[in-house]
């Protein structure tokens, strides 16, 4: 399609020219006033043609033999009377056709559209109301009436009409276009989202710039034993995403997605997110719930093994990478116990050596213990 103002080309379903910003006008299909007047002109020409033929017939009859003048005069009178009847009938027929056309739905719509194009909204409204009296369920007439109301700054009346037309004619692209244009001018972006969410796939394809798809998350909700790094996929150009991780409703004041989202805290986390396209139209709100439960590290390994020793052995403790080790003799170790930093000399006597491993998240392993007996 091309803009009638600047000539720029654009795709079907565009409501405003991307170059000059002028509204894209739809064109209803019905008989124009010019078509009706042309039909009248043709009928008048046909009338004159018949009259001329009748006249030639009379002249031909007059050239016949003079001896039949009386009979011929009588005959001519009859022919003249017939011709008069034909003329009257033709005139009445033309008048009837004109009156029929003048009072037709197409005529009223043609007049209404002409007045609307000339910005004579008062007369345009009169004609479209006459058209609606003839055909109240006409989508085209209702849409034109709504457009006239919009020009008269009566948005409430126009909105009521357009909503009803969309309800009754869900495949009418003109009705959707006018309603979308009205909502956009009112900055009712959530209403646009709701309108398009209930529209057919064909209508969504036609006005795809008014649809904002909900993005997908790289990892769905569920139970996890490790930290997560989440990303949003299927983002259209110009789309912005905002999210929360505390379960609250997201909007443009929430955290803006600019890179991977890290979920490291143990527990239940509810991610909610929303996208906005280039027209600032929002998507539906997405939600995913993650339960992160970190596993405790394995208990540390202690050497040497339990037993009685004749000489002092070195007690060595090892644990998983990234873990700190805490130990104690003859009691259960805690985070307040001694921190293991290297081999420990086996003390004299009978003692139980115990140790725990603590990872970087503070998760504590089960206790590992060995019993030693050593006397000098």
Collect the ranges in the chain with pLDDT lower than 70: 1, 10-14, 16, 18, 21, 24-40, 42, 62-102
Helical packing angle, 155-168 and 173-185, nearest 10° = 150
Tens digit of pLDDT for each residue in 262-321? Answer: 999 999 999 999 999 999 999 999 999 999 999 999 999 999 999 999 898 999 999 999
Rg (CA), the chain: 45
Do you find a cis peptide bond into 304, omega within 30 degrees of 0?
yes
CATH class of the 105-210 domain in this structure: mainly alpha
Cα(75)–Cα(58) distance, integer angstroms: 10
Token pair 């909105």 is at which residue? Answer: 159
Q: HSE (CB half, 13 Å, CA atoms) of 355?
A: 26
pLDDT of residue 60: 75
Q: Which CATH number fits domain 216-292: 2.60.40.10, 2.40.70.10, 3.20.20.70, 1.10.10.10?
A: 2.60.40.10
pLDDT of residue 3: 75
Q: Which CATH number fits domain 301-374: 3.40.50.2300, 2.160.10.10, 2.60.40.10, 3.20.20.70?
A: 2.60.40.10
Tell me, yes or no, if the two domains 216-292 and 301-374 fold the same way: yes
Residue 329 φ then ψ, to 5°: -105, 130
pLDDT of residue 36: 54
Q: What is the pTM of this model?
A: 0.66
Cα separations in angstroms, 180 against 95, 240, 253, 278:
44, 21, 25, 15
Domain positions in the chain are: 33-102, 105-210, 216-292, 301-374
pLDDT of residue 94: 38
Tens digit of pLDDT for each residue in 64-115? Answer: 656 566 666 655 554 545 444 333 334 444 343 344 455 799 999 999 999 9
pLDDT of residue 1: 65
CB-based burial of residue 130 (10 Å sphere; 0-12 exposed, 13-18 middle, 19+ buried)?
middle
CB-based burial of residue 214 (10 Å sphere; 0-12 exposed, 13-18 middle, 19+ buried)?
middle
């Amino acid at each position: 399609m091309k803009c009638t103002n600047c000539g720029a080309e654009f795709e079907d379903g565009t409501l405003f020219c991307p170059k000059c910003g002028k509204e894209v006008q739809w064109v209803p299909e019905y008989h124009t006033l010019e078509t009706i007047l042309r039909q009248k002109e043709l009928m008048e020409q046909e009338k004159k043609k018949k009259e001329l033929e009748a006249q030639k017939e009379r002249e031909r009859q007059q050239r016949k033999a003079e001896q039949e003048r009386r009979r011929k005069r009588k005959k001519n009178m009859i022919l003249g009377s017939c011709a008069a009847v034909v003329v009257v009938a033709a005139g009445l027929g033309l008048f009837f056709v004109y009156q029929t056309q003048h009072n037709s739905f197409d005529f009223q719509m043609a007049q209404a559209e002409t007045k609307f194009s000339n910005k004579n909204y008062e007369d345009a409204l009169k004609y479209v109301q006459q058209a609606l009296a003839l055909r109240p369920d006409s989508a085209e007439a209702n849409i034109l009436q709504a457009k006239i109301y919009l020009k008269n700054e009566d948005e409430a009346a126009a909105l009521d009409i357009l909503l009803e037309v969309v309800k009754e004619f869900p495949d009418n692209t003109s009705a959707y276009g006018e309603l979308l244009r009205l909502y956009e001018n009112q900055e009712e972006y959530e209403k646009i989202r709701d309108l398009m969410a209930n529209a057919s796939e064909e209508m969504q394809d036609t006005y795809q710039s008014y649809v904002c798809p909900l993005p997908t998350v790289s990892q769905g909700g569920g139970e996890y034993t490790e930290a997560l790094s989440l990303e949003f996929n299927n983002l259209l150009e110009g789309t912005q995403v905002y999210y929360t991780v505390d379960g609250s409703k997201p909007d443009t004041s929430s955290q803006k997605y600019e890179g991977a989202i890290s979920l490291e805290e143990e527990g239940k986390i509810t991610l909610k997110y929303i996208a906005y396209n280039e027209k600032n139209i929002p998507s539906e709100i997405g939600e995913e719930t993650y339960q992160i439960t970190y596993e405790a590290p394995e208990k540390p390994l202690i050497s040497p093994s339990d037993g009685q020793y004749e000489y002092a052995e070195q007690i060595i403790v090892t644990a998983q990478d990234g873990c700190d080790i805490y130990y104690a003799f003859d009691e259960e170790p805690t985070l307040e116990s001694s921190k293991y930093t290297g081999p420990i000399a086996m003390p004299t006597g009978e003692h139980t050596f115990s140790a725990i491993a603590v990872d970087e998240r503070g998760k504590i392993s089960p206790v590992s213990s060995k019993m030693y007996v050593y006397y000098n």
